[in-house]
Structure 1
């Protein structure tokens, strides 16, 4: 099993990613942390607790993270994810509470106690991770890698150049990309190709209670492309388990933190300024058929974790 810290802002595609991570035998979630992003941090924290309750994984600790970016004003994406972040399904009553420790200190404790360096997976803005780096630089050696949903080399979804997670807190993204920790950037270059067709989403509804829940969330999802709906954040979990589905290339990537290009992830594809240095493994292509087949295969296994869910 791969032990991870999973930092999220659910959000519908985060919820789908977490549903897989909570129920997959290859993933060992040591800590879940919330951050403001798709909706407020109060709502993203609640949504993490809804899903750990639904899948009867309440032994996994949940910690509340940053309520706002480091410098920018916070603007959510409720126009895509709904007011709650996870509309469309009536979840069981939450049976647990978040830790009294905040996300940054909870991360620090898990890393300090870990026998080996751990991977941190982030599917929202990187504010919590940047604060961890700033407050606990001594723990950088305890981080094996970052696997990040975010960025794009081919254009944005909140501006012509910026992807939402990086745009939400570009200052945090800059800190993370300059940290020296190995990182994988899984951005729009692949997540806009890894679509679930409408036929696939319809088929999910018939795959037990987990499928029913996911279908209701996905059909409420306001993000769509010709040919289907992108489940951006699911790609982080898929990459952990099946990196062979992805074509990657190493680049030096800089983050633009102000001006009209705020949030852009700029790769030195021509080796103009990086002098041969790299700081990111960037996913540039994906086996879309393998992704969709893998996704569908996960759902039947989920049902054993949510038997009796409302």
Structure 2
């Protein structure tokens, strides 16, 4: 990134412990120009998401980035929050003070449109949440695609899901919206569970962050401590989760991707919300007999350099 202009970035989130980690990174990385943040129901209700987002930006000492409230429920499904993971307030019940900042006096879709079209260079759109706002944007203002360079979304899974055996939470929460995203007509990177779960900050680093006197670094440590990587992980180790998707924008060489056909299962039943990723080396009978559709081609993250992203995250959040 040395000498290069910062990448214009817009984040759509459901803050959320790991969305908060992603925001802390985005506002502190010198190679990223965070132009707007939009909020959607997911990890908690949308008003809680707005509050949490403003709190994180304030604790991080971020510039006055515009923040807007978006969809309070998926396109079709009822809202189904994840407080059992993120705490009753969506932020690990850390007891953070209420923000003094206020959200913009506009809705998320309007802010998304303005932030994208007013950018002097193509924007990288980074959804780390259910994709309701993005679907509404693409259907309401399709002209925005002319100034979107890439969409890097945290969602989906090639192998195992978390909301169901095959579906990841963000896509499962609003499968129709995810299906709309895949029709955007711009380059898309899928940062799914296959890499999401692997980027873990060691316990010693988490403890150092928690002991920091700088509010943003300390908040990162507290959030990571709330988000244990797995039952088998060392004490205090914490997963970066959504923040890895923003690391992939700042340093795309840290992930290994393949351009693969991807579609979202929309049928009722056990596969609803599954991202069906076609890794076959050659067409099968379905294609030969003309019974298949043509899915979108997506750069699917299949591997990640864990140490690289952990070092990048720590250097950014703890840096000047």
TM over 0.5: yes
| Aligned counterpart, 2:3 | none
| Aligned counterpart, 2:58 | 53
Shift of residue 240, structure 1, vs aligned partner: 1.1
Q: Contact between 1:49 and 1:96, CA under 8 Å: does it hold in 2?
A: yes
Q: Contact between 2:8 and 2:122, CA under 8 Å: does it hold in 1?
A: no
SS in 2 for 1:279: strand
Which range moves more in the overlay, 88-97 or 263-272? Answer: 88-97
Q: Contact between 1:248 and 1:285, CA under 8 Å: does it hold in 2?
A: yes
Is the counterpart of residue 215 in structure 1 residue 221 in structure 2? yes
| Aligned counterpart, 2:77 | 72
Q: Contact between 2:41 and 2:72, CA under 8 Å: does it hold in 1?
A: yes
- Unpaired runs of 5+ residues, structure 2, are 1-5
Q: Contact between 2:200 and 2:239, CA under 8 Å: does it hold in 1?
A: yes
SS in 1 for 2:177: helix
- Unpaired runs of 5+ residues, structure 1, are 305-310
Q: Contact between 1:88 and 1:216, CA under 8 Å: does it hold in 2?
A: no
Residue deviations 1:98-151, cap 9 Å, x none? 112100011112222223321110101111000000101122222111010011
Q: Contact between 1:89 and 1:213, CA under 8 Å: does it hold in 2?
A: no
Q: Contact between 1:144 and 1:181, CA under 8 Å: does it hold in 2?
A: yes
TM-score, normalization: structure 2? 0.89
Residue deviations 1:210-259, cap 9 Å, x none? 33222222222366353343221111111111111111101110001122
| Aligned counterpart, 1:112 | 117
- Runs of 4+ with >6 A deviation: 274-277
- Residues of 2 paired with 1:149 and 1:112: CA distance? 23
Cα distance, 1:79–1:167 mapped onto 2, change above 3 Å: same
- Residues of 1 paired with 2:85 and 2:192: CA distance? 18
| Aligned counterpart, 1:308 | none
Number of positions where the alignment pairs a residue of Structure 1 with one of Structure 2: 302
SS in 1 for 2:130: coil
Is the counterpart of residue 171 in structure 1 residue 176 in structure 2? yes
Residue deviations 1:159-212, cap 9 Å, x none? 110011111111000000122121100011111111223333223223333332
| Aligned counterpart, 2:306 | 288
SS in 2 for 1:19: helix
Q: Contact between 2:8 and 2:121, CA under 8 Å: does it hold in 1?
A: no
| Aligned counterpart, 2:210 | 205
Q: Contact between 1:207 and 1:299, CA under 8 Å: does it hold in 2?
A: no
Cα distance, 1:133–1:278 mapped onto 2, change above 3 Å: closer
- Measured on the aligned residues, the alpha-carbon RMSD in Å equals 1.9
TM-score, normalization: structure 1? 0.91
- Residues of 2 paired with 1:276 and 1:41: CA distance? 34
Is the counterpart of residue 230 in structure 1 residue 239 in structure 2? yes
| Aligned counterpart, 2:271 | 261
Which range moves more in the overlay, 42-51 or 199-208? Answer: 199-208
Which range moves more in the overlay, 137-146 or 246-255? Answer: 137-146
Shift of residue 92, structure 1, vs aligned partner: 4.2
